[in-house]
Structure 1
Amino acid sequence: MKRLFIYKGLELEANINGYATYELKVVEFEPEFAGKLNFYVSAADHLLKDDNDNPSIGLLVCKSKNETVVKWAFEGIDRPLGIATYELDEVLKKTLAEKLPSIEDIENAIEE
């Protein structure tokens, strides 16, 4: 599988069937994200896709979403685009907490 990385965390993956664009946002969904994702899919279709590939798809993953805002933002866009949310689970939070210094450790380091 070939991979092509593009600025701002956009990743395009080539495979036998076509291309997929992915974007991860650490904030709540905003309507302009739909336009950006549509642009990225258009770019993949124009720059990478050939006649043997299926249409490119786009997936946006963000912290949270309002269903009505998402519906209105994607209305009229006929490309295969999707949106999903993520949630840090307790295992990941615990793992991160174990690897990061505590506030007290940081304060002590600054005082030294």
Structure 2
Amino acid sequence: MHPDAGAARGKLHLEVEGTDFFVDLLFFHVEQLRYVVVELKTGDFRPENVGQLSFTVTLVDDRLRRDQHAATVGLLLVAGKHDAVVRYALGTSNAPVGVASYELLPPELQRSLPTEAQLRRALLGSR
């Protein structure tokens, strides 16, 4: 793990109007003072994954983020993706969301978040 990224928890349960929702992984970046929502998908990227991640990021922002924290970031890790499908799905989105790799994240976030390999090692090591 990146030394400034502290794991907050896995499989966080949140409830909205009686409906249960779960966050696969939630990290808190100590240096940037921001939450990082990680959604894990075992299949290929689907456009609806972006909507789910956006919902979860907004929920974490509303329920957990404090005024002094930076905006929450979402990261979607999928087993496979087709670049054109990802491009169309994220086409007009201004949200800081990355799919499978950090290629779609702003450079300042790329440098400060854990790499995909580091996340995989952390996940495999925790089983």
TM-score clears 0.5: yes
Runs of 4+ in 1 over 6 A off after TM superposition: none
Match of 2:8 in 1: 3
* Pair 1:14-2:28 in alignment: yes
1:83 maps to which of 61, 79, 99:
99
- TM-score, length-scaled by structure 2: 0.60
5+ residue gaps, structure 1:
87-112
Deviation at 1:14, TM superposition (A): 2.7
**Which has the larger strand fraction?**
2
**Residues of 2 paired with 1:80 and 1:59: CA distance?**
8
Q: TM-score, normalised by structure 1?
A: 0.68
Deviates more, 1:69-78 or 1:10-19: 10-19
Residues 74 and 98, structure 2, Cα contact 8 Å, conserved in 1: yes
Structure 2 segments unaligned to the other structure (5+ residues) = 1-5, 14-21, 102-115, 117-127
Alignment of 1:1-112 (within 5 A): 1=6, 3-4=8-9, 5-7=11-13, 8=22, 10-16=24-30, 17-84=33-100
Amino-acid identity (%): 29
CA–CA distance in 2 between the matches of 1:69 and 1:15? 29
